[in-house]
Amino acid sequence: MSQIVDTITAQEFMKETLERIDEQSLVLVAQGLAVKSDLFQKAFAENKLDNLTESQLLKIFGIIFSVRRKSRKIIREIGFETLKSEIKLLLYSDDPIQQRFSRFCNLLTCLDEHLRYDLTGEILHYTLPNKYWLWCNWMWNPKTKTGSLPLVTTEDYVLDAPDLGSAYMKVGKAVAFVHNVGEAAGFQTISRNLFGTDVYLSCVYIIYAYTVLRMRMTQEFNQVMPGVGEFAKRILGTYKLMQEQNITKNKVAQIVN
């Protein structure tokens, strides 16, 4: 698996992350993702989707960082009933996942491309976290060729793909390798499930963003940048959710111990 993952670079990103934030705080972020996933699973369960209400869907969209302010626009332009039916097909159709992914993205004509795969990836991953993976533009943006995944994979692994469905499969392969190598090499110790890898990849992006901003922005601007924990919770869509659920370090300590 190491031929896809640049293990040394991946370890360095984790080392720099832990110089800025303690590991328990990262466990806390992963626990927030578990709470987020529980909300998705309850709303989008196959036997409950037909009874999903518009207010419930708005609540779910509200914890997706990239589309939360476009939630009403998405529902208005696609139609609530159509959207509900398409979510059910995305999650539970027997068609290959790359076809379902492309189909749902193509439905979202009211959104820019990076928001289409953000939304589609979040629905899949947080509803069925043991089956599907996350793809957000901060992990891999095909247009700009940037993100956390190309930072921790080797140059030989090509993330470019002819369509979004194929790209989702390539992202998934990269995430799986990072997850497994991270556990073996010890650079991903946040959680054994994919939520830990989600948090790790968000930290890779954040450390990279800090480096770029430090070079380009004024010292005053850099001083108002959020810390790693807050930054991670914001791009993962759990910042307000964790406040509402009162997910604290003490609660995480109880879960871990």
What is the per-residue pLDDT for 57?
97
d(C-alpha 123, C-alpha 237), whole Å = 13
Helices marked H in 45-193: 54-61, 71-78, 80-92, 97-107, 113-127, 148-152, 164-185
| Residue position matching structure tokens 């995430």 | 175
Q: Structural domain tally of the chain? A: 1
Q: Answer whether residue 153 is part of any domain.
A: yes
Domain membership flag for residue 2: no
| Owning domain of residue 70 | 7-256
- Over the Cα atoms of the chain, what is R_g? 18
Q: Is residue 72 part of a domain?
A: yes
pLDDT value at residue 223: 61
The pLDDT value recorded for residue 153 is 97
Residue 24's H or E segment, with its range, is helix 23-44
Q: Is there a domain that residue 1 lies in?
A: no
Q: pLDDT tens for residues 99-157? A: 999 999 999 999 999 999 999 999 999 999 999 999 999 999 999 999 999 999 999 99
Taking the model in full, what pTM does it have?
A: 0.91
Tell me if residue 234 falls in helix, strand or coil: helix
What are the residue ranges in the chain where pLDDT is below 50?
A: 1, 252-257
Model pLDDT, residue 220: 53
Structure-token pair, residue 73: 């626009």
